[in-house]
Amino acid sequence: MKHTTIIDIAKILKISASTVSRALSDHPDIKEETKIQVRKLAKKLDYSPNPIARSLKNNRTTAIGVIVPEIEHDFFASAINGIEEVAYHAGYTIIVCQSNESFEREIINTNALIQQRVAGIIASISQSTTSGEHFKNVINRGIPLVFFDRACEDITASKVVIDDVQSSFNAVNYLIGKGYKKIAHFAGPRSLEICKRRLNGYTDALKKSGITVNKEFVRYGGLHEIDGYNSMDYLLKNNMMPDAVFAVNDPVAIGAFQRIKEAGLKIPGDIGIVGFSNNKITNLIDPKLTTVDQPSFEMGKRATEILIDTIENSAKKIKPQTVILEAKLIIREST
């Protein structure tokens, strides 16, 4: 007896396989009427995800490769959950690789996934990635590729992102509105595009308010707690006291938070602080951290929907698309 697939359901209902997948995963963009029709037919046809059947297509497995900088990072862990949620309902499994913020390991991971003959790859590049040649190899082999959050700018592929410039502008503009004028920015690596954009949002907000950008207040580093700690330590030791800090991400903000506390300074009385991503810890520390909420779970889901749609409609040669999701400022006690 032939195993029912989402393609079978799609053909009967005259909708796309991607729509069927999203309906089965209860995606908010799908009309309730469509969800009911899909579920009813899926039940009638005794549908269940079948990785083995799908693996025969194009002589590839039903596995989706996922490359992230860090699995332990709340943002990426949440995104992976979103990826797995959609993949499961569409009959795919995922293989997760961690680059550990290493360009070399990212290349190794990419090549390993190619050798595994994955159906497609979802990736967020490392902070040290300087070239997209390894991803060009993916595309040249006909393997669908989708980036999320961090994308290679020299690669033409679909991506799911937020507006980093506007989100950062909003955060810094909020600080200015609260009366902060001497705002430092603890930036990430100079070469990473999302860090450049968040820096641009910071400088745009200052300039719009007529505040001169103090280059000494912009401290470049990595994306971990130690980087925020060291940046704050540098300013304190050189008697360059900001009244607020906008950090490139939450781990950097937490590092700065720790150094501020060690110095006996009060948050937000002496220094206000804003992070980026809305990691779980931001709501657990005292005072709770104001941060930009990136919809990480939704990013993972949307990236997977695009990838699966591309995989299952390979004959149509779907054009790469850029999806920009909304990121909101979560105001808490640190400001």
pLDDT in tens, 176-221: 999 999 999 999 999 999 999 999 999 999 999 999 999 999 999 9
CA 25/CA 184 separation, integer angstroms: 42
- What pairing do the DSSP bridges indicate for beta strands 328-330 and 290-293? antiparallel
Residues 257 and 289 occupy one common structural domain: yes
Strand ranges (E), the chain = 63-68, 93-98, 120-123, 145-148, 158-162, 183-186, 218-219, 244-247, 272-277, 290-293, 322-325, 328-330
End-to-end CA gap in the chain: 62
* pLDDT per position as a tens digit, 73-110: 899 999 999 999 999 999 899 999 999 999 999 999 99
Residues 208 and 309 occupy one common structural domain: no
Residues 62 and 143 occupy one common structural domain: yes
Do 184 and 245 form a contact (C-beta atoms < 8 A)?
yes
Residues 188 and 271 occupy one common structural domain: yes
Residues 169 and 281 occupy one common structural domain: yes
Residues in the chain with pLDDT < 70?
1-3, 49-60, 315
* Residues constituting the chain: 335
Residues 112 and 74 occupy one common structural domain: yes
Do 70 and 124 form a contact (C-beta atoms < 8 A)?
no
Global confidence as pTM: 0.81
Residues 179 and 277 occupy one common structural domain: yes
Domain assignment present for residue 331? The answer is no
Our separate counts of H helices and E strands in the chain read: 12, 12
> In the 8-state DSSP scheme, what is residue 182?
S
- The count of domains in the chain is 3
Residues 61 and 138 occupy one common structural domain: yes
pLDDT for 186 equals 98
Domain assignment present for residue 335? The answer is no
pLDDT for 2 equals 59
Residues 32 and 179 occupy one common structural domain: no
Q: Which structural domain, as residue segments, surrounds residue 220?
A: 164-293
Residues 4 and 121 occupy one common structural domain: no
Residues 207 and 226 occupy one common structural domain: yes
**What strands lie across the sheet with 218-219, from one edge to the other?**
218-219, 183-186, 244-247, 272-277, 290-293, 328-330
Residues 176 and 60 occupy one common structural domain: no
pLDDT for 1 equals 46
